[in-house]
Amino acid sequence: DAGVTQSPTHLIKTRGQQVTLRCSPKSGHDTVSWYQQALGQGPQFIFQYYEEEERQRGNFPDRFSGHQFPNYSSELNVNALLLGDSALYLCASSVFTGTGSYNEQFFGPGTRLTVL
């Protein structure tokens, strides 16, 4: 059973460019969350997708957008890249069972984005 997979592993972009990161959830999972982990810091929640809709969003600008496909995989898009966007981007998947219940999130290995 494959776990959460992310591509690419590493990416180098220049300021002002746009980037797309991809995530395939663990088999049987229908919910995908994205996190940004800057160097030396803990992960910060970007947003969560369920049923192809953004369900909740953290404190990130509109330059960060996402998409979820019918097969539950997801993309994270970042426009107009800034130097401060350099980070490890983590994807986590889970099974939605309704609010108020616990659903464990399983993390992928991440995509390391470097903005020059």
Partner 1 sequence: AQSVTQLGSHVSVSEGALVLLRCNYSSSVPPYLFWYVQYPNQGLQLLLKYTSAATLVKGINGFEAEFKKSETSFHLTKPSAHMSDAAEYFCAVSENNNDMRFGAGTRLTVKP
Site of interaction with partner 1 (CB under 8 A): 4, 33, 35, 40-45, 48, 55-56, 58, 90, 92, 94, 99-110, 112
Checking DSSP bridges between strand 87-94 and strand 74-78, what pairing results, if any?
Answer: unpaired
Q: Cβ 57 to partner 1, closest distance in Å?
A: 9
Closer residue to partner 1 (CB): 10 or 15: 10
> Would you call the peptide bond into 109 cis, given omega within 30 degrees of 0 as the criterion?
no
Q: Cβ 22 to partner 1, closest distance in Å?
A: 15
First to last CA, the chain: 37
